[in-house]
Amino acid sequence: MAKNNRNANDKVTLKIPRPLYNKISEVIEGAGYNSVTDFVVYVLRDLVVSHEMAGPKNEAPDNTEVVKERLKALGYL
C-alpha cells in the first residue's frame, strides 16, 4: 500500500444499498450504537480482527490470548 501524507484519522465514504442501511438502522435501534456508521465500523473491525487472529488453518491459538488480542484491537484494552 502506498504511503501518503494523510492523518490516520481520515475517513472515507462507503456506499451501501439504502434498504440495507434502513434494515441496519432498525436492527440497532436501542442497542447503544450512535449511528449506523458506528455499528458498521464495529462489525468490520470485528471481522478484520477475526480474520487476522485466524492465522494459518493448522494453528490452534490459546483462546485467552485470542480474546485479549480481539479486545485490544477493538479498543477495549
Q: Is the residue at 3 inside a domain?
A: no
pLDDT above 70: residue 63: yes
Dihedral sign computed on CA atoms, order 66, 33, 28, 14: negative
Total structural domains within the chain: 1
Tell me if 58 is assigned to some domain: yes
Report pLDDT digits (tens) over 34-56: 999 999 999 998 888 887 777 66
Length, in residues, of the chain:
77
The pTM is what?
A: 0.56
Specify if 67 maps to a domain. yes
Q: How confident is the model at residue 72 (pLDDT cuts 50, 70, 90)?
A: confident
Average pLDDT over residues 4-25: 85
Alpha carbon dihedral 56, 57, 58, 64, in 10-degree steps, equals 80
**Which residue did the predictor score with more confidence, 72 or 15?**
15
Q: Does any domain span residue 45?
A: yes
Domain presence at residue 21:
no
Note whether residue 43 is domain-resident. Answer: yes
Q: What is the domain range of residue 53?
A: 33-77
Whether residue 4 is contained in a domain is answered as: no
9 within some domain: no
